[in-house]
């Protein structure tokens, strides 16, 4: 099987690590060739805290995926989330030296590079710079300034910031697991690509990805990402509470949550009881489902309220910024019974559970289309997109100067710089960040 069209997503989560191998089929949909997943032992709240264990978990997931697909994996796209991610709004402008010329990619690059010089807190690094809308000579609300005339170009930016050390640690784990880092993507962005439709992004929607260690939020409006946040609580704190509240071990708490848990206490009758085997020779414990759902309810309300604060921070209550498509829940935590009703009750916004089947081939396995795999599917899509872009660039470069191949070295070298198609200029910051992480790792060896 050809490997050059294959793309691999690696979702390093708090509860599980997923390696997913996919490629684009003839209809432009994503075909998943293999999945591997392993228990994630060295990650806490989305941040690596034990390198050795994380490397082992990555290798295990990758081997499983390789076996399923019958392929060898070399490069992966990795998602980053974790409690260290924060985002801010920032506006910046450049004055163009020659307003006789129309605005081009180069101007936008200069502007984006300028944002990149923002001074962050010590140890922080800019991960994404996402332009929101532009102003040309004071004329506002311009979506695409390229081709317009103007002397002053300004823009509002959504800037996502994370901790350098956390990002490098992830890079380190991937490299030590014998893999190349092809790219880094923010997990809420990956999940939203997999789960949301273009109409929802236009109308305004909040994607809430409830993972084990963190809950990620991404807000879109008018087709543009407007706000991202990572809340350092997820499904694991619910399990933790059940464990404490019922004095049982974690494995039992997790099972209770999945099998009998509900986010809505009114659902259970008082006489519904689950009996849990006691530890080695001790009496079994009896737990009423009503108490169980009360414990879950309290925690879920807390998580949803924090997310809702972020949605309000974005400005959902202003008429112009209203999120018409409401909320989409995804991630493993979104499978909790009656969660949709609770979220609607707390926020007053329409809610649905999002499955990552928007871009998958029709005959995909049920397992793949589970919300659990939203991020992994999004990462594979990101890989496919990068490959398409690479292909386009290579073709463009070839089309622009096809005759240079046999010419004498000096000139060809010189003209190569011109031959780069304009698209390569505007590399996403993540590519640059990936490169920096790679350089750092190579020099650190």
Number of Cβ atoms within 10 Å of the Cβ of 389: 15
pLDDT at 433: 76
Query: 235-298 domain in CATH 3.20.19.10?
Result: no
Distance CA(356)–CA(373), nearest Å, equals 7
Query: Would you list the domain boundaries of the chain?
Result: 235-298
Q: How far is CA 226 from CA 243, 271, 302, 305, in A?
A: 37, 47, 23, 19
pTM of the model: 0.85
Q: What is the pLDDT of residue 175?
A: 95
Say what the pLDDT of residue 388 is. 87
Q: Tell me which residues of the chain have a pLDDT lower than 50.
A: 1, 405-407, 409-425
Output the pLDDT for position 415.
44
Q: How far apart are CA 283 and CA 23, in angstroms?
A: 53
d(CA 331, CA 184): 19
Residue 442's pLDDT is what?
Answer: 77
What's the token pair of residue 134? 């532009």
| The pLDDT of residue 416 | 41
Q: What is the pLDDT of residue 397?
A: 81
Residues 6 or more apart whose Cβ sits within 8 Å of residue 269: 289, 290
């Amino acid at each position: 099987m050809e490997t050059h069209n294959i793309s691999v997503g690696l979702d390093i989560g708090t509860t599980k690590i997923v390696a997913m191998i996919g490629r684009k089929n003839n209809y432009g949909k994503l075909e998943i060739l293999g999945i591997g997943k392993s228990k994630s032992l060295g990650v806490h709240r989305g941040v690596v805290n034990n390198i050795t264990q994380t490397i082992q978990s990555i290798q295990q997931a990758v081997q499983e995926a390789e076996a399923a697909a019958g392929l060898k994996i070399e490069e992966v796209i990795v998602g980053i989330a974790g409690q260290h991610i924060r985002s801010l709004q920032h506006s910046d402008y450049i004055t163009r030296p020659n307003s006789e010329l129309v605005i081009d990619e180069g101007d936008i690059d200069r502007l984006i590079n300028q944002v990149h010089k923002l001074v962050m807190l010590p140890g922080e690094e800019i991960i994404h710079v996402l332009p929101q809308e532009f102003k040309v000579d004071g004329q506002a609300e311009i979506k695409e300034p390229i081709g317009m005339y103007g002397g002053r170009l300004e823009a509002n930016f959504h800037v996502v910031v994370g901790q350098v050390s956390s990002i490098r640690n992830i890079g380190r784990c991937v490299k030590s697991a014998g893999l190349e880092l092809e790219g880094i993507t923010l997990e809420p962005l990956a999940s939203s690509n997999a789960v949301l439709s273009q109409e929802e992004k236009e109308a305004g929607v909040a994607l809430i990805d409830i993972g084990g260690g963190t809950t990620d939020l991404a807000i879109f409006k008018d087709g543009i990402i407007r706000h991202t946040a990572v809340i350092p609580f997820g499904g694991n704190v619910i399990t933790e509470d059940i464990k404490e509240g019922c004095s049982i071990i974690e494995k039992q708490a997790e099972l209770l949550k999945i099998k009998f848990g509900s986010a809505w206490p009114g659902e259970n009758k008082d006489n519904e009881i689950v009996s849990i085997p006691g530890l080695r020779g001790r009496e079994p414990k009896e737990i009423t489902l009503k108490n169980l759902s009360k414990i879950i309810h309290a925690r879920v309300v807390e998580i949803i309220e924090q997310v809702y604060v972020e949605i309000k921070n974005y400005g959902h209550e202003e008429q112009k910024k209203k999120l018409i498509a409401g909320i989409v829940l995804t991630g493993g935590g979104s499978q909790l019974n009656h969660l949709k009703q609770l979220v609607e009750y707390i926020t007053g916004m329409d809610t649905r559970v999002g499955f990552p089947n928007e871009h998958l081939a029709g005959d995909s396995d049920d397992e793949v289309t589970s919300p659990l795999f939203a991020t992994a599917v999004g990462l594979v899509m990101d890989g496919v997109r990068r490959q398409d872009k690479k292909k386009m660039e290579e073709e463009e470069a070839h089309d622009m100067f096809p005759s240079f191949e046999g010419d004498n070295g000096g000139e060809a070298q010189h003209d190569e710089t011109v031959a780069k198609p304009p698209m390569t200029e505007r590399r996403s910051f993540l590519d640059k960040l990936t490169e920096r992480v790679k350089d750092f790792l190579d020099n650190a060896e």
